[in-house]
Structure 1
Amino acid sequence: MRKSRTAVIDVHEHRRVVELLRRILDPELGVNIVDLGLIYGIRIDEDEVRVEMTMTTPACPLASYLRDNIRSVLQNHAPEKTVTVDVIWEPPWSPSHMSEAAYLLLGGK
């Protein structure tokens, strides 16, 4: 079965969004939010980019900072779309969500 042009564009757009999110660092840890495992989902449609993310703890003082940065970066990339960032708590974040590189960078063995 041949992929539709829309599906191919969506794959490329999804990859681009992930690349953009990798530029956003957790300022306390110095690791990007993708490798930290904070991004749970990305949905892109004709008029919206929706990101589902979590925080390392419900009391995270950086929640607004990270949400605002995501909105800003993605809105600059796709000004014609609405950017929505949903913070979700299930499943709860744990170090197992991190990439291997982030885990090792932060002292994991």
Structure 2
Amino acid sequence: MNSTALPAVPPDDLHAAVMSALAQVDDPEMGENLVDLGVVGEVRIDGSAVAVTLIPTSATCPMADVMVDDAQTAVQRACPPGTTVDVRMDWDTEWSPERLAPALRERFGW
């Protein structure tokens, strides 16, 4: 084993770290975190690559680029060095209030 090689992070631990990072990112318009808003569509981990899809709350979400950039930065910081992170917006999946965390759904009256 090469002495400079980094130990592998178990996928479950990395997934938890990614979700924790995304929970620290607020939607710039709603002021709530991406996880509770239910905009995290998928987190895929393949070796040292992490792919995250976000679902916009509207088809014309004006802050989509900011959300992607903020999520990209947060996830990259949460991952081990050398991890490739790709965060993208999934414009084909429709967001609905059912995706909200129960406490937010109740607070928003949905």
TM-score bracket, normalised by the shorter chain, equals 0.7 to 0.9
Contact 2:17/2:78 (<8 A) preserved: no
- Tell me the residue number matched to 1:54: 55
- Structure 2 unaligned segments of length 5 or more: list them: 1-7
- Tell me the residue number matched to 1:11: 12
- Give me the identity figure in percent: 33
Contact 2:40/2:54 (<8 A) preserved: yes
- Tell me the residue number matched to 1:84: 86
- Structure 1 unaligned segments of length 5 or more: list them: 1-5
Q: May I ask how many residue pairs the two structures share in their alignment?
A: 102
Cα deviation code 1:54-95 (max 9, x no counterpart): 101121111000000111111122231111112213431011
Which secondary structure state, in structure 2, belongs to the residue aligned with residue 17 of structure 1? helix
- Tell me the residue number matched to 2:3: none
1:106 deviation in Å?
A: 2.4
1:41 deviation in Å?
A: 0.6
Which secondary structure state, in structure 2, belongs to the residue aligned with residue 44 of structure 1? strand
TM-score using structure 2 length = 0.82
Q: Which amino acid aligns with 1:31?
A: E
Which secondary structure state, in structure 2, belongs to the residue aligned with residue 31 of structure 1? coil
- Tell me the residue number matched to 1:63: 64
Contact 2:57/2:95 (<8 A) preserved: yes
Q: Which amino acid aligns with 1:47?
A: S
Alignment root-mean-square deviation, CA: 1.8
